[in-house]
Every structure is written in C-alpha cells, then in structure tokens.
C-alpha cells in the first residue's frame, strides 16, 4: 500500500509539472498581448501640444440685403437694408469649434471637412493659447478630410500618421480633442471593431472605438500606444449627441493618400475603371456557381472606360484588384480609388464558372460625375403576356416603350407587371424593368425567358440570374426556381 501511495504521488507530481509546462507558452502569449498601461499621462503629455482646437465662423444672411437690379450704394437699397434689419433679417456670424492635429512642423494640419465646411474664417488655437489664422489647402468631402495650413515663426509640435492596417480589435487607443469646447481633453478606450460601414459614403472603412468621442472631437486624432495617429475621429452614434461608447474614426490607410494628394495637387485624384457594381448575395453566387459568396458583381460597364477596354463584362465578379482581395462589394471602390492613376493592374475575375486574369489601366475619376437618377416607370397597357417567376412579360414595342418610358437603345423583355407575393417583388423588380439577360444569355422575347428558365430548372439550378435595366440603371437579381 505504501508503494502504491508513493507511485500515485509521483504520478500526481509529474502531471502537475506537465500542466505547468503547458501553461508556459500561454503565459508568454498573454505577456506579449498589449496590456493596459498604468497611466496614459506620458502619452498625453507628449502628444497634446500637437492637437489643436479649430474655431470657424461664417456669415449667415437670413434674407436679401439689396433690391435686385438696383445698384449698390443707392439710397433705395440703404432704405431696404434698414427695413430688413428692423424685421430681424440682419445677417449673423455663426461660430463653431472642432479639433485637428499638426502633421508637419511647417504648419500642416489635418481635420474633418465638416468642421470647416462653409467657413469664411478659420483659426487654429494651440495648447499654449497661441492663435493662428489658417487657410484651407484642400478638402475631400467623400472621406470627410480637410487639410489646413498655418504660418508660424518657429517649428510646431507635430505627430506622425501611423499604419492603421496593423490595428487590431481590442487594442488600446486614446483620443485627444475639443469636446463641447473644452480644449485638450484626453479619453481612452479600445478599438471595438474595424472596417465599419456606417453608410456615410462609398469609401466607408471606419475604426469603431469606445474611447469617448463627443461634439467638438471631430477632426481630432485617435492614437495607438506608440503615439502614432491611426484614425481621425469623425462620427458618433447617439440619440442624445453625447458619447454612448460608439465612436468612429477614419483610418489612416484612407487619410494618408488623401492628405498626400491634397498637398501635392490641392485636390484628390482617385482611380476609376468605369464599372457599376452590386453585392454578390448567396442567391447570386449560387446562380453563378461561385462558392462562397464574395467579390463585387459587375452590373454595368462604361463603354469607353478602362474596364471595357480590358474585356471585363457585366456579370463578371471581381475577386481581386492589384493583388488586394475583394471580399465584398464595398471593398472595390475603395481599392480602385486608392490606386495610382495611370497604373496598369492585375484583376482577377470569375466568369462562366472559372477564374480569369485581366489587366486594367486605371484612369482618373471625374469627381463631378453624378449618377443619373432612374426615371420612374409608369404602368401602361400592353399586348398578350407571359408569366414567369411571378413576372408578367411582354415584348418591347413602340407602344410599350412609350408607355413604360423605355429608351430605343434598350433591348430585352419588358416586365409589365409583378406578382406582389413573388420573390421578384421582394427583390425590388418593378413594372417597367427590362430583362436584358437570363443566366447570362441575351433575351429578346418572353419565350426566350421562359425557355432559359425551364432549362435552368431542368439542369438542377436552385436560382436563376436576371440582368435588368431599371430606368437605364443596370443591376442583377437572383430569383429562386421552383415556385414564386
């Protein structure tokens, strides 16, 4: 019995040693993780002098100050102006406050575009109370970034733009800014999420943080624990306007190229390839034979654009661009925009069940280009109809084109009515839409649609892909087969 007890004790001891040895790498890994600092004081003391308050003002007139057609200085205009002032129509100067930060000792300052938008006077206030007038070097409303310049007799304290691509969820960050007009306020928290899309624009890629961001923090920096800027604080989600722990910063991966282009050209110069895209839903991926659902679906092509010249077609799915993976539709506009104008890049596309590679020379985006609004279609009577997948289909004739406002260049099959209980209605198919392709094959008559849908069902497909023209706007819709 004594021998048995000794053997059991020895085994227990060895198991304890083994467990301790297994814990060593776990403890080492935990030690390597970024721990909460005992204090943020050293960082705050070092970084705060480069963070500035931005005071802007603009003159808002609530009514006309002269009579149209009457020369300035006329006694009649003087009388009119005096009358308007008596009626409470006197122009008022409105002031607002925001934040910014110096990125170059010569006086280059980064802030949000919405902080200075519409301002006719901009002043920068430093931590020591020094106030300098600022001029607008350039701005980019699409990313909400603006660059200012101040003149100083001595080099200014500055901070560096870091690499936001290295940021991880859970990393500690600090925000310094001017919330509610209270200058030099420091808050701390962690990165709550990355790559957030808050539907602010085509290039959304926000860092989400729980570091307190309030009104007046806009334009201020978000720092990592090395004191490098990883984001520009820009927005919050809050019912009251005060921080509830959900703030958003534009990452420096977006900020850096915008700032560099503004400093070099006074404006942004984004890449463009001339495509219209949409999300690859699981239904669309299934209809294309693409697993898993990913990439950006090409819904339309500019005839003279770079993509068209490279041989890219509607129905292709872009999987990578210039070596960068396109995991979702919203990735492509940002990646293309960040690509140097004139650069020829490799693009990987999915077409007809296989992956192809093409080369595209990136052109420059015309920032003033606007997407034409779709013209609402009007319901009109038509000839005999064919019903497929809850869609009433008719041929395009002079009468149906006029009745549904379809131009003469559009060729396909007209949707004259949609069953409100059908999957097509749920996907947004409307009367007046024109089916251009079914399963990536051109159609000219309702019989073509019926035949291709039947062949897809016979082949065992779960969904069928339709390419539609809605008031001239091209898009794809995947409809489930085997019923409505």
How would you label 139-154 residue by residue, b for 16+ Cβ within 10 Å and e otherwise? bbebbbbbbbbbeeee
Per this entry, what is the length of the chain? 484
**117 given a catalytic annotation:** no
Could you write out the DSSP letters of every residue in 304-349? TSHHHHTT--TT-EEEEETTEE--STTHHHHHHHHSPTT-EEEEEE
**114 given a catalytic annotation:** yes
- At residue 189, φ and ψ (nearest 5 deg) are -175, -160
Q: Residue 232 in 3-state DSSP?
A: strand
Residues 96, 192, 218, 287: which is the catalytic one?
Answer: 218
Q: Report the C-alpha gap between 124 and 69 in whole angstroms.
A: 40
Q: Report the C-alpha gap between 400 and 56 in whole angstroms.
A: 56
Residues 144, 224, 316, 433: which is the catalytic one?
Answer: 144
Q: Report the C-alpha gap between 125 and 229 in whole angstroms.
A: 20
Q: Residue 126 in 3-state DSSP?
A: coil
Residue whose tokens read 């690509």:
339
Residue whose tokens read 């409470």:
88
Note whether 348 and 324 are within 8 A (CB).
Answer: no
Distance set, CA 123 to CA 6, 119, 238 (Å): 81, 10, 28
Q: Report the C-alpha gap between 225 and 207 in whole angstroms.
A: 16
Q: Return all residues near 422 (Cβ < 8 A) that are at least 6 apart.
A: 389, 390, 391, 484
**407 given a catalytic annotation:** no
Residues 66, 104, 114, 152: which is the catalytic one?
Answer: 114
Catalytic residues: 114, 144, 218
């Amino acid at each position: 019995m004594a021998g048995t007890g000794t053997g059991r004790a020895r085994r227990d001891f060895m198991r304890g040693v083994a467990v301790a040895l297994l814990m060593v790498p776990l403890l080492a890994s935990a030690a390597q993780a970024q721990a909460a600092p005992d204090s943020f004081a050293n960082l705050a003391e070092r970084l705060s002098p480069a963070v500035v308050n931005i005071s802007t003002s603009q003159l808002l007139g609530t009514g006309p100050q002269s009579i149209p057609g009457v020369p300035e200085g006329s006694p009649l205009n003087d009388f009119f102006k005096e009358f308007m002032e008596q009626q409470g129509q006197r122009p008022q100067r409105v002031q607002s406050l925001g934040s910014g930060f110096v990125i170059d000792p010569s006086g280059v300052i980064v802030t949000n575009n919405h902080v200075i938008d519409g301002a006719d006077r901009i002043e920068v206030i430093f931590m020591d109370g020094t106030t300098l007038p600022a001029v607008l070097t350039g701005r980019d409303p699409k990313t909400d970034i603006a660059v200012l310049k101040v003149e100083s007799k001595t080099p200014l304290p500055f901070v560096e733009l870091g690499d936001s691509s290295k940021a991880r969820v859970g990393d500690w960050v600090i925000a310094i800014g001017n919330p509610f007009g209270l200058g030099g306020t420091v808050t701390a928290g962690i990165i709550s999420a990355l790559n957030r899309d808050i539907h602010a624009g085509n290039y959304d890629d926000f860092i989400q943080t729980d570091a307190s961001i309030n009104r007046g923090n806009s334009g201020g920096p978000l720092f990592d624990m090395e004191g490098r800027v990883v984001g520009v604080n820009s927005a919050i989600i809050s019912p009251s306007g005060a921080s509830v722990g959900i703030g958003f910063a534009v990452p420096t991966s977006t900020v850096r190229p915008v700032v560099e282009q503004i400093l070099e050209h006074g404006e942004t110069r984004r890449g463009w390839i001339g495509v219209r895209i949409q999300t690859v839903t699981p239904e669309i991926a299934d209809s294309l034979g693409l697993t898993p659902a990913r990439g950006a679906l090409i819904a339309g092509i500019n005839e003279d654009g770079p993509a068209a010249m490279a041989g890219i077609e509607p129905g292709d799915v872009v999987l990578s661009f210039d070596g960068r993976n396109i995991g979702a539709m919203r990735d492509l506009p940002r990646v293309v925009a960040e690509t140097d104008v004139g650069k020829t890049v490799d693009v990987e596309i999915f077409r007809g069940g296989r992956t192809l590679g093409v080369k595209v020379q990136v052109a420059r985006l015309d920032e003033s280009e606007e997407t034409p609004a779709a013209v609402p279609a009007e319901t009109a009577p038509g000839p005999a109809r064919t019903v497929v997948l809850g869609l009433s289909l008719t041929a395009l004739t002079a009468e149906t084109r006029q009745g549904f406002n379809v131009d003469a260049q559009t060729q396909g099959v007209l949707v004259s009515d949609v069953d409100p209980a059908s999957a097509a209605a749920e996907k947004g198919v409307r009367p007046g839409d024109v089916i251009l392709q079914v399963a990536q094959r051109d159609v000219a008559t309702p019989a073509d649609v019926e035949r291709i849908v039947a062949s897809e069902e016979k082949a065992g497909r779960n969904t069928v892909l339709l390419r539609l023209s809605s008031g001239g706007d091209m898009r794809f819709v995947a409809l489930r087969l085997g019923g409505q």
